[in-house]
Each structure stands twice: as structure tokens, then as C-alpha cells.
Amino acid sequence: MATLLGFFAILLYFSSEPLRRIDRNAASAIGGTGWLDALSIIGDQWVIITISLLLILYLWVFRQNYRGMLFVFLSVGVGNVINQLLKQTFERQRPDFPHGLETFSFPSNHAMVGLLYLFTVAYFLSEDRAGNAAKWLVWLVAIVLAGAVGLSRVAGMEHYLSDVAAGWFAGYSWFVAVAVWYEMRERLFRKRPVNEEK
């Protein structure tokens, strides 16, 4: 709920002078940072599609987890559609930079869908980890990578920091919604045989 409110707060105020000042300061601080800009490849569409398909294949072949496969589709696939709809709805122009892009800026697709696929991978990888330390490590890597992917778009001058933050907020909100649905379905499925025996 907090991240959803954060998204709407940015939506309402991204044209305000205080937020524009933050965007300018962020661009000045990390804009043109080559190594950070290079990390945007982690959030490129072909990488997201490839990793998501591999995860679906893993859930199908090794775990026969069909709800998990649907989880990936809802989180990453539908999340990408939501991002495109938001872009077309709000039509925020991108920052001025030499290698211009024709799509709109708000919210950042790399930040939103990058977080969705990284968190989805972490969710299922952490299920297979026995110890808490291993689970924390998986999630730490996912969080760091999602943060780096979002900031890479500011470093490359393709997005404002407010676009990236809105992408993180929207992506996390959607991920939680899908995860709650999945957990509820899993608990219902586990209880069903017991109820039927009674």
C-alpha cells in the first residue's frame, strides 16, 4: 500500500519544482556514469523475456508448478502491459539526450518490469533454499540488481529519477498483488484434500 501511495504521489507532483529539482540533481550526480549505464542491459526486453521463459520452463519441467508458471506470466507479462498502458496514459516526455527514444517516460519500463522479473526469479529461487542466509542472499542480489537497473536509466539520461522511482513503486505493488494471490491459492490447494477427507 505504501509503494502504491508513493507511485500516486510522484504521479501528482512530477511536474512540481521540488521534484524537478531532485530529477536535475540526480541527473547531474550520476548522468553519464558509463559502468552504471551499461547495467541497463539487465532490464532490456530480450533479457527479461529470455529469463522469464527459462523460469517458466524450470517450473514446468522440474516442479510441475502450473500456478507458478501463471505467476510469472501475471507478474512479468501483465506487468509489462500495465507499464505500457501507464506510459500511454500519462505521456510524459523523456529527458533531452542525443540518442532519443520515441516512447514515453513515465514510469520507467526498465525499473518496473526489471524489478518484476528479478523479484519473481528471487521468489522461486528462495523457495528452494533451506537456510535463511541463502534466502536473504538471493533477495539481496535481486534488490541490488533492480536498483542498479533503475539507476542505469538515469545514468544513461533516458529517464528522470522520478520515472524510475515510480517504476519501482508500481512494480513492487504489482508484484505483491500477484504474490498474495499465489500464496492464497497455494494455501487453498494444500487445505483442499484435508477438507475433502472430513
- Please choose, from the candidates 56, 63, 42, 43, the residue with its C-alpha nearest in 3D space to the C-alpha of residue 127: 63
Please check whether residue 29 lies inside any domain of the structure: no
| Side-chain-facing half-sphere of 140: CA atoms under 13 Å | 6
Q: Closest Cα partner for 107 from 9, 1, 198, 185? A: 9
Q: What is the pLDDT of residue 191?
A: 64
End-to-end CA distance of the chain: give it in Å, rounded: 38
Is 32 domain-assigned?
no
Q: Are 117 and 172 in contact (CB under 8 A)?
A: no
Q: What's the pLDDT tens digit per position in 182-194?
A: 988 877 776 655 4
Query: Does any domain span residue 34?
Result: no
Percentage of the chain modeled with pLDDT above 90: 51
49: in domain: yes
pLDDT value at residue 137: 92
| pLDDT for 98 beyond 60 | no
Which whole number is the average pLDDT over 124-146? 87
Segment 30-65, tens digit of pLDDT: 887 889 889 999 999 999 999 999 999 999 998 889
Banded model confidence at residue 198, pLDDT cuts 50, 70, 90: very low
23 located within any domain:
no
Q: Is residue 48 part of a domain?
A: yes
Four-CA torsion 53, 56, 61, 66, nearest 10 degrees: -150
Establish if 150 belongs to a structural domain: yes
Enclosing domain of residue 162: 2-14+40-197
Q: How far apart are CA 57 and CA 124, in angstroms?
A: 13
Total domain count, the chain: 1
| Residue-averaged pLDDT of the chain | 87
Q: Is residue 25 part of a domain?
A: no
